[in-house]
Amino acid sequence: MQAWAEEIASGVDVLIGNGGMTTLRIGGGTMNVANLGQFALGSQSTTSTGVVELVAGGVLKTSRQIKAGPGVGSIVFAGGTLQSDGANSYDPWIATNIAVSLSSTENSIHPQGLDMKLGTAGIMGAGTFVVTGGGSVAFAQPSSNWNGGLALVQGDAVVSTHRALGTSAVTLGTNTLRIVAHAFLPNTINVTTQGTVWVSRGVTGYVGTVSGHQLVKEGAGDLIVDDIADGTDFSIRGGAVTATMLENMPHAPAGNPAIWVDASVAASLVTVSSNDVSRWYDRRYAGNTNGFFATNIFNRPLIVSNRLNGLPMLDFGRLGQGGGSGDNRMLQFKNYQTNIRTVFWVVGSKNGGGFLLGDSLPNGSERHFHRGSTSGTYGGVASDPIWGVAGQDKGIVRAGETWTNGVSVNGTATGLSGQYDLVTWRLSSAYDAANNTPGAVWFASCYADPGGRLNGGQELGEVLIYTNRLSDAEVRATERYLTRKWFPAYATARMSLGTVALDGGGAGFVNAYTAPVQMTTLMVNNTNVYITGTTGGTSASQTVVTASGILGPTVTAALALHHLNLDPAATLEAAFGSTGIAPVVSVTGDLNLPASARFLVTGSVRPPESALLITVGGAIAQSSGTTHWSNAGNTSYASSVVVDDVTRKVWLKTPRGSLLLLR
């Protein structure tokens, strides 16, 4: 049954699937179903099925509760719209026994200013839900099979369970995502302008990634973030934002590699005995011979557990130098891989590192990905250059870009560490434009010598080979993925935030991340705010304390400050512990002071006669030549702040003796 514009009067029942299988397809215009009366799918018997299909241009306008009878009911979005009548609401709007699928790219839901709840037994499909019309939509059930994403154009989303928003991106716009119960959301929260995440008091919300512009964190609950895209800003107005690696959060590299082998995926390894590997499948197609795999042709490499960050690696043993030396372990690709443009290796070089890839199509003695040899062993020593020079490498690889552990290097002059490294190679832009690319067919071999010469010498954890030249951002994202997994303490795993503003009383940023967290600017806009984590693990290029903020040890204890700027009437706290010592703020860059500022003395111990408050590595600039300091508290009235431009120190001076007040 197909319908275009239609009016269903109040009190008239809508029964779809009243015997057998029936589909109501709304293919254009608006079907307006007035309030009161049933709206039931699969209403006749257990064998009846009722389906509502909303095609592009079709609108179902109703606030009746849509539910299933004894049969089966479902709603299929194929580009259409579900809209409330703007006057009535049910809890839930779509009952929990109704399946919802999104088959089109974009589908709309219009609460029309009301707070509507989807109780559906999970949303599935690759389509996007777009919320418009104001109000809110509550997502109350897990939707692990929904990968199309949610876009809040006009209206909020409310979450009360794990995986309620599927697995793809949630675009906030200027709207709010409300987390009202503990929820694990493996989504990317994309903030196109200034969007808000509200977490209720006593609730913890876990999200995959935050990216985009400024995310406003509101509510007294905590927001825990697995990853934060470079340059993302935060305004924390309530509760805390915590950066940490979440154990159950899925991670992936950029793009779609042509080959992706991973020793940490046990199903991708075929072993003959307990740990000798005869075949290594692409991790996405484990056991599927239609996909990529590499097979031993001589001795088998060994899978060794707990090799790097608790993960296993494939050990190819000692590099052979002829005469039966070495362990003669290598793997041969299913087919020669052409058109290679970007490669990432997690590689161990305790045995020198060997050849990262091998090319079976030599040009004389030259091969793609040929190792250099300052030692004469061609990768038997880790310090041998990663790539050979003319006469060894064909030229395309050595002309490309190479990074080790996120640092750009000259691959013909730089070797490996002798431990474990992340090596990245990318085709030059000139060769990419000319479509001139290298190929390879072996892991851990130069030319597959049956006697074992130049076979082995390395351990491999993960290798990704792309047939497209990744962008700078894609290279960084893939290096970040690999570093977080294999080298979590490396600087390349760092988070680089934009401006973080501690705007609300009690607001905080918690760094529980394994690598450094960098902030371009930290704004201290309130009292009783904090930053926690390992000392110096969080750094700010510029810290600004405004008139409504206090700079004290709750902010500075875990913070590495470069430049510090105190706005007019900003407050500096001198917090004395039981030993009579106040923490010293170390500023490695410049200190900029206003014409007038305030200080606050806290603690139960009387300050000493002289207490160091700030040390400055750069210059001290006082906007009017001398800063006037006033006491913002109710203690230590005789204390004063002294700024020493020469020694670049700021002191609290408290005279000894008795203070006599006469009136």
pLDDT digits (tens, 9 = 90+) for 38-63: 898 987 788 889 999 999 999 999 98
Specify the pLDDT at position 44.
74
Question: Which whole-number Å values give the CA distances from 28 to 1, 51, 590, in the listed order?
Answer: 13, 17, 65
Q: Answer whether CATH 3.40.50 is correct for domain 259-486.
A: no
Specify the pLDDT at position 2.
55
As beta bridge partners, residue 342 has 426, 466
Confidence grade of residue 248 (pLDDT, cut at 50, 70, 90):
confident
Confidence grade of residue 249 (pLDDT, cut at 50, 70, 90):
confident
Question: Which whole-number Å values give the CA distances from 311 to 154, 262, 295, 400, 462, in the listed order?
Answer: 45, 10, 22, 30, 11
Location of structure tokens 């001139």: 436
Domains of the chain, by residue range, sit at 1-157, 169-245+494-567, 259-486, 577-663
Structure tokens at 617: 């590595």
What's the mean pLDDT in 371-396? 96
Task: Report the chain's mean pLDDT, rounded to a whole number.
Answer: 94
Percent of the chain at pLDDT > 70 equals: 98
Q: Phi-psi category of 633—alpha, beta or left, where left has phi over 0 and alpha has psi -120 to 50?
A: beta
What's the mean pLDDT in 243-257? 90
Specify the pLDDT at position 36.
86
List pLDDT tens digits, range 278-292. 999 999 999 999 999
Write the CB contacts of 376 (distance below 8 Å, at least 6 apart in sequence). Answer: none
C-alpha–C-alpha distance, residues 606 and 351, integer Å? 62
Q: Is the pLDDT of residue 661 over 80?
A: no
SS3 for 553? helix
Confidence grade of residue 657 (pLDDT, cut at 50, 70, 90):
low
Write the CB contacts of 634 (distance below 8 Å, at least 6 apart in sequence). Answer: none
List pLDDT tens digits, range 552-569. 999 999 999 999 999 999
